[in-house]
Structures are given as C-alpha cells and as structure tokens.
Amino acid sequence: MSRYLLYFASLAGFLLALMMVATGHRDWLWLLAVAGALSALGTWDVLQKKTTLRRNYPILAHFRYGLESVGPEIRQYFIERDTEEVPYSREQRTLVYQRAKSVSDVVPFGSELNIYGDRYEWINHSITPAPHRDESYRIVIGPDCAQPFDASVFNISAMSFGSLSANAIRALNWGAKRGGFSHDTGEGSISQYHREYGGDLVWEIGSGYFGCRNDDGSFNEERFAQNASDPQVKMVELKLSQGAKPGHGGMLPAAKVTQEISEARGVPMGQDCISPARHSVFNTPVELLQFISKMRELSGGKPAGFKLAIGHPWEWFGIAKAMQETGLLPDFIVVDGAEGGTGAAPSEFINHVGVPMHEGLQLVHNTLVGLGLREKIRLGAAGKIVSAFDIARTMALGADWCNAARGFMFSLGCIQAQSCHNDHCPTGIATQNPDRWRKLDIEDKAGRVQAFHANTLKALHDLLCAAGLQHPQELGPEHIIRRVSPTEIRSYNALFARLRPGQLLEGGPYPHAVFTEYWPAARSDSFAPPPMVAAMRLSKAY
C-alpha cells in the first residue's frame, strides 16, 4: 500500500487543515490549498480508467511524467558526453555557436576523440602547405545554361516556411544575402519572407507542386514560369525524395494552413494540404528527365536538377541509363542522406529507411563516372554537415558542394530541444506560434548565419592549405583516412570500390556487387524492379 501513501497523506492533511481553518486558524490556509489540490488530483487518478499507472500510483505517477518530459534535456546537459552524437553532439553544437558568434573556436588540451578507435577519421597534411589565397570557394552550376549560377560550396539546405517560422526564414535569407551563398526554399515554395531580403534562392518543387499547381494538385506550367523567372531564383530543383522520410508523403492539417502558407503554396485555407508520396508529372526515368528539361526551359535557362535520397539502386540506375540513352542531362543532382531530419517524420523512417549520404553519394558519383558524365553534372550533398572537415570529407567522396540544414538552425540559436513537431520550439525557429517566433531577432540572427558560413569556409581554407590544396575540388578519396581497427588504417580510396571513367559503357566486370547485380537489369523506360527481384517478392522460396 506504500504506493498510496502520498495520496492518503494528502487526504489526511486536507481534513486536518479544513478542521483547523474551520476553528479559526487562518495560518493553515496554505496547507488546505496544497493538500486539497493533491487530494483532488489523487482522487481523479484513482477514478479515471484510461491510465493504469495513475490508478495504481495516484499522484506519484505525475512525478514520473514530469521527469520523463525533461529527460532529453537532462541527458543533453548533464549526462551525455561532449562527443556523443544524439543526434548532434555538444561539441558539434558548440562549434556552430562559436563560429556563428565569431568567438574563438580553439580547443585546449588535445582531442576528446578516441583516435585509436574504429571509425576515427582524419585528413593527411602536407610538408609543403599551400599558400593562403581566396577562401570564397565558388563553383559554376549549369555552365552551358543561359543563366548559369555562381554558387558557394556551402549553402542552406531545404527547409520550408511552415516547418520554420517567418523570422527564421527572414534571418536565413538575409544571412545568405550578406554572405553570398544560396538558400533552398524547401518544397513549401517561395513565401513572402523569402523575398524580403533578396538572398539567392534554390526553388524546390515537391510532389505537391506548391507554388506551381492547379487546383487539383497537378503541375501548372504558367505559375511555374512566373515564379521561376524571378531574378532571385537562381536554380530550380525537383525533389524526388528527402532524407528525413524518403518514399513518404505528408499532410499539413487545415488548422495549420495560415494565410501566408496558403499564398506561398497556392492551396486553399480550411483544407488539408497534401504532399503525395509520388509525383504525377512522370512515370518513367525518361519522363523524369524530360520534365527536368522543361523546368530549365520554363525558367528561362536557369540550372535545373533534382534531389533524391537513394533507395532501390535499380531506380537510380534507370535514371542514369535514361541520361545515357537520351542525352537529356540535369545540370545538377543533390544527394540527400538518410541522416537528414529537420522535419518531423515517423520513427521508422527517421531510423531505418533510405541510404546514408556517404553511400548514396558514392553510388551516384561512381555511376556518373562509369558513364563518362561526371564532368557534365554537378553534385550537391546534404546530411549532418556542420564542420569544415564534414565538408572536406563529403567533397572527397565526390560532391561539388554541400548543403546544411540543422547546422544553420544551430546558427540561428537552435538548442536541439527536439520540439520541431509540436509547435513548442523554445527558440522561435521551428514554430508558427507568433508569441515564440517574434522573439527571434532577425538582424542579430542573420549576422550569425553569415558568420557561421564565413568562419566555416575559413576553417575549410585552413584545412585545405594544410593538406597542400588550393580548392576543395582537388579533394579525392585518397585524402581521407579511416581507422578500421586499433592496428589498421585505410584511405577512402582503398576502402570504397570505384569505377573507372566509362567503365559502365564497357559491359563489366564491375568492382562492386550493386553494379554487377542491378546495372544490367535497370531500364530507362521503367522504375520497375528487375525480374529476379520481382520474382523474389512473390515467393519465400528464393
């Protein structure tokens, strides 16, 4: 009966206090109020039938709920090690905060990483470091387009207005404007807040075709051309899938479709806003590339490409074969890793769906190399990138530039409260509650966004100079070293199989099983699985 002790004590205290107050002892009023409230709570716990825990532990159960509600904060601030990435370590977050505030980011007393532990990685330095030169690091995307884009190698990844607040969008875009880098709109389209400060935009179009849709949700060429012709829009990007929830659609409930969201997305207020799981503008790899070409044409010759999180390899191979057979090439491809996650998604999708960015990027890069197309298509990559080493490692794996979402959220002041999905973001970043987001100072945070970008590129510059390199384009898999055991190390060049230029055109053999097994069976006219895979789906006998 000890589990009822607090409840019985509250009842006894309430009765005692009631008797004392009734006899004129007014100084017992405080006990009457406290014991009365606890008694009422305990009585409700005992009588209700929805929660067995509360019936068995009246009052006491609420202490558990309270501790459980602050569990993430307790772990984050008091228990987790500085290097424990769940999902971002305190060390990673601190680095972003320091660079966003332009304060010293030097580390005393040596590394806290276990440099003899598996998966420790580093970049080799040179006895003859390169001289310090320009650290802006620009690349041209779509050099053969009518309106090529001179881009930074480090940019803001896709985060929609709706997921982020008005002031967060304003601060990100103003920071991008001041720092000379680009801001991906996310599939929520271009809101009024993206336009206020005039920062370069990459307009992302998802399966809902927000900003360029008909009333029935189908694609509208005229509306697309009108938005895409805006000088602020530098590139147009078709989102096939995203790292947070690849293969999954979404719905913004009618109650959350505000006037601003309605205007930006081109959807009616008072109705659920649906993002289908698949596109309606194409059904085959060839049709996908034809649509990308149409996007380039309708935009007035701006670079056009697509973003995807890699899933079934034969589907990507089908797109690659369509490029080879038709000559229709995207100007760029952005590989999103399964480690992405600024938006809310089901647990299974966050944890167990999609290929991580490193493997996905290598597959795309190697395929294009094997087809002799790599020099014609730029590759971007996104997936847990916050430091200069993250950028260097990703570009060594084949990327031409990197995007970051959560890193730039940290620069705005995100504390990883993980309240992005419930409108209770304590920093006003991932919320539509005006009482919260209006407290986010746009000018101050825009300066931090700019500083984070500039200081990260400065760190990248120092890293490259130490390695004897002049530009991140010179990075290759031979530069990144990984410890695979306490006594063995391997370069990425030795760890990961690579195709020779044009090797896929030669007909094999190939250095990796995924190419051997799925490349010959992939088709440019269908995303359907190869016959062997289709047969396996029909029988457990395989």
| 116 domain-assigned | no
pTM beyond cutoff 0.85: yes
**218-227: long-range pairs with CB below 8 Å, 24+:** 218/280, 218/281, 219/280, 219/281, 221/294, 221/298, 223/266, 224/295, 224/298, 224/299, 225/298, 225/299, 225/300, 227/189, 227/190, 227/203
> Of 467, 490, 513, which residue sits at a domain end?
490
Q: Which of 191, 185, 168, 171 is nearest to 433 (CA)?
A: 168
Q: Are residues 70 and 188 in the same domain?
A: no
At 336-381, the pLDDT tens digits run 988 766 656 777 877 888 899 999 999 999 999 999 999 999 999 9
| pLDDT at res. 257 | 79
Torsion, Cα 292 153 144 507, to 10 degrees, reads: -70
Q: Are residues 66 and 202 in the same domain?
A: no
| pLDDT at res. 404 | 96
Residue type, 382: A
Is cis: bond before 129, omega within 30 of 0?
Answer: no
Q: Are residues 45 and 149 in the same domain?
A: no
> Of 62, 79, 96, which residue sits at a domain end?
79
> Of 79, 100, 118, which residue sits at a domain end?
79
- Residue 166's domain is classified under what CATH number? 3.20.20.70
| 224 domain-assigned | yes
Q: Are residues 331 and 454 in the same domain?
A: yes
Q: Are residues 188 and 279 in the same domain?
A: yes
User: For residue 327, with 0-12 CB atoms within 10 Å meaning exposed, 13-18 middle and 19 or more buried, which class applies?
Assistant: exposed
| pLDDT at res. 255 | 67
| 505 domain-assigned | no
Helix (H) / strand (E) containing 265: helix 259-265
| 528 domain-assigned | no
Q: Are residues 27 and 150 in the same domain?
A: no
* Contact in structure between 298 and 290 (CB atoms under 8 Å): no
Helix axes 388-396, 442-466, angle to 10 degrees: 60
Rounded-to-integer distance, Cα 433 and Cα 168, Å: 12
3-state secondary structure of 183: strand
* Contact in structure between 332 and 236 (CB atoms under 8 Å): no
Q: Are residues 293 and 431 in the same domain?
A: yes
| pLDDT at res. 52 | 82
Domain that residue 473 falls in: 138-490
Domain count, the chain: 2
> Which residues in the chain show pLDDT less than 50?
none
Q: Are residues 359 and 430 in the same domain?
A: yes
| pLDDT at res. 245 | 75
| pLDDT at res. 503 | 95
| 496 domain-assigned | no
- List Cβ neighbours of 274 (8 Å cut-off, separation of 6 or more): 208, 217, 249, 250, 251
DSSP characters for 113-124? S-TTSTT-EEE-
| 104, two tokens | 């010293």
3-state SS record for 36-98 = HHHHHHHHHHHHCCCCHHHHHCCCHHHHHHHHHHCHHHHHHHHHCCCCCCCCCCHHHHHHHHH
| 342, two tokens | 């600024």
* Contact in structure between 164 and 428 (CB atoms under 8 Å): no
- List Cβ neighbours of 15 (8 Å cut-off, separation of 6 or more): none
Torsion, Cα 124 130 132 136, to 10 degrees, reads: -70
Q: Are residues 197 and 65 in the same domain?
A: no
| 312 domain-assigned | yes
| 542 domain-assigned | no
Q: Are residues 64 and 172 in the same domain?
A: no
| pLDDT at res. 321 | 98
At 231-284, the pLDDT tens digits run 999 999 999 998 777 777 777 777 677 888 888 888 888 787 878 889 999 999
